[in-house]
Structure 1
Amino acid sequence: MSSSPSLSARGGRLALLVVGLCWLAVLFDGLDMFIYGSVLPHLLENKTFGLTPDRAGDLGSYATFGMLVGALTAGTVADRVGRKKLMVGCVVLFSLASALCAVSGGIAVFGLGRTLAGVGLGGLLPTAISMVSDYAPRGRGALVIGTLMTAHHAGGILSAYVAKWLVEPVGWRAAFWVCVLPLLFAPVLARSLPESLSFLVAKGRTEEAGALAERYDVELPAAKGAKQGAADRWNALLNLFRGGEWSQTLLYWLASFGGLLLVYGVATWLPTLMRGEGYALGSALSFVVVFNLGGIVGMLVAGRAADRFGAPRISALWFALTAVGVYLLSVHMPMGVTMVVVFLTGVFLNSAQVMIYATVSLRSTPDNRATAVGWTSGMGRFGAVFGPWLGGQLLASGHGDLGFTAFALAGVSSMVLIGVAALRGPRRGATGSSDPELLTAH
Structure 2
Amino acid sequence: MSSSPTALSAPSSRLALLVVGLCWLAVLFDGLDMFVYGSVLPHMLEEKALGITSGQAGDLGSYATFGMLVGALAAGTVADRIGRKRLMVSCVALFSLASGICAVSGSVAVFGLGRTLAGVGLGGLLPTAISMVSDYAPRGRAAITIGLLMTAHHAGGILSAYVALWIVEPLGWRAAFWVCVAPLLFVPVLAKWLPESLSFLVARGRADEARALAGRYDVELPAAETDKPATGGRWANLQGLFRGGEWVQTLLYWLASFGGLLLVYGVATWLPTLMRSEGYELGSALTFVVLFNLGGIVGMLVAGRASDRFGAPRISAIWFALTAGGVFLLSVHMPLALTSVVVFLTGVFLNSAQTMTYATVSIGSALANRATAVGWTSGMGRFGAVFGPWLGGQLLAANKGDWGFTAFALAGFSSMVFIGVAALRTARRTAAAGMSGRTTTIGAH
Distance 2:235 2:29 in 1: 38
CA spacing shift, 1:223–1:38, aligned 2, 3 Å: farther
**Corresponding residue of 2:100:** 99
1:417 shift after superposition: 4.3
- Which one of 229, 233, 237 corresponds to residue 233 of structure 2? 229
1:59-96 deviations in whole A, cap 9, x for unaligned?
11111111111111123333454322222111111110
1:342 shift after superposition: 0.5
CA contact (8 A) 1:70 1:120 kept: yes
Distance 1:81 1:230 in 2: 12
1:346-394 deviations in whole A, cap 9, x for unaligned?
1111122245456779999999999877655443221111111100111
> Could you tell me which amino acid in structure 1 is paired with residue 231 of structure 2?
K
1:187-235 deviations in whole A, cap 9, x for unaligned?
1222222333333334443333222222222222334454343685576
> Could you tell me which amino acid in structure 1 is paired with residue 100 of structure 2?
A
Q: TM-score, normalised by structure 1?
A: 0.85
Tell me, yes or no, if structure 1 residue 256 matches structure 2 residue 265: no
**Corresponding residue of 1:163:** 164
1:9 shift after superposition: 2.8
Tell me, yes or no, if structure 1 residue 290 matches structure 2 residue 307: no
Distance 2:80 2:254 in 1: 27
CA spacing shift, 1:382–1:422, aligned 2, 3 Å: same
Alignment of 1:84-233 (within 5 A): 84-137=85-138, 140-221=141-222, 222-224=226-228, 226-229=230-233
1:143-174 deviations in whole A, cap 9, x for unaligned?
33321111111111111111111111111111
CA contact (8 A) 2:96 2:184 kept: yes
Distance 1:108 1:203 in 2: 41
Tell me, yes or no, if structure 1 residue 16 matches structure 2 residue 17: yes
Distance 1:206 1:418 in 2: 37
Structure 1 residue ranges without an equivalent (≥5): 2-6, 437-442
Q: TM-score, normalised by structure 2?
A: 0.85
Distance 2:41 2:391 in 1: 15
Distance 1:25 1:379 in 2: 23
> Could you tell me which amino acid in structure 1 is paired with residue 19 of structure 2?
V
CA spacing shift, 1:186–1:428, aligned 2, 3 Å: same
CA contact (8 A) 2:141 2:308 kept: no
CA spacing shift, 1:251–1:83, aligned 2, 3 Å: closer
The number of residue pairs the alignment matches comes to: 428
Alignment of 1:70-81 (within 5 A): 70-81=71-82
Distance 2:83 2:297 in 1: 29
Distance 1:340 1:433 in 2: 37
1:255 shift after superposition: 3.3
**Corresponding residue of 2:435:** none
Alignment of 1:42-441 (within 5 A): 42-137=43-138, 140-221=141-222, 222-224=226-228, 226-229=230-233, 236=240, 238-239=242-243, 252-306=253-307, 313-356=314-357, 376-419=377-420, 427-429=428-430
CA contact (8 A) 1:355 1:433 kept: no
Q: Report the more deviating stretch, 211-220 or 129-138.
A: 129-138
1:240-279 deviations in whole A, cap 9, x for unaligned?
779xx76x76555433322211111001111111111121
Q: Report the more deviating stretch, 108-117 or 9-18.
A: 9-18
Distance 1:368 1:262 in 2: 27
SS in 2 for 1:428: helix
| Identity value in percent | 79
CA contact (8 A) 1:318 1:352 kept: yes
CA spacing shift, 1:315–1:108, aligned 2, 3 Å: same
1:130 shift after superposition: 3.0
Q: Report the more deviating stretch, 404-413 or 300-309.
A: 300-309
SS in 1 for 2:339: helix
SS in 1 for 2:220: coil
> Could you tell me which amino acid in structure 2 is paired with residue 181 of structure 1?
A
1:56 shift after superposition: 0.8
CA spacing shift, 1:256–1:167, aligned 2, 3 Å: same
SS in 2 for 1:54: helix
CA spacing shift, 1:175–1:435, aligned 2, 3 Å: farther
SS in 1 for 2:428: coil
Distance 1:186 1:371 in 2: 24
SS in 2 for 1:185: helix
CA spacing shift, 1:409–1:240, aligned 2, 3 Å: farther
Distance 2:394 2:166 in 1: 29
- Give the aligned CA root-mean-square deviation in angstroms: 3.4
CA spacing shift, 1:132–1:257, aligned 2, 3 Å: closer
> Could you tell me which amino acid in structure 2 is paired with residue 56 of structure 1?
A
Distance 2:266 2:405 in 1: 10
Distance 1:353 1:124 in 2: 16
**Corresponding residue of 2:433:** none
CA contact (8 A) 1:362 1:427 kept: no
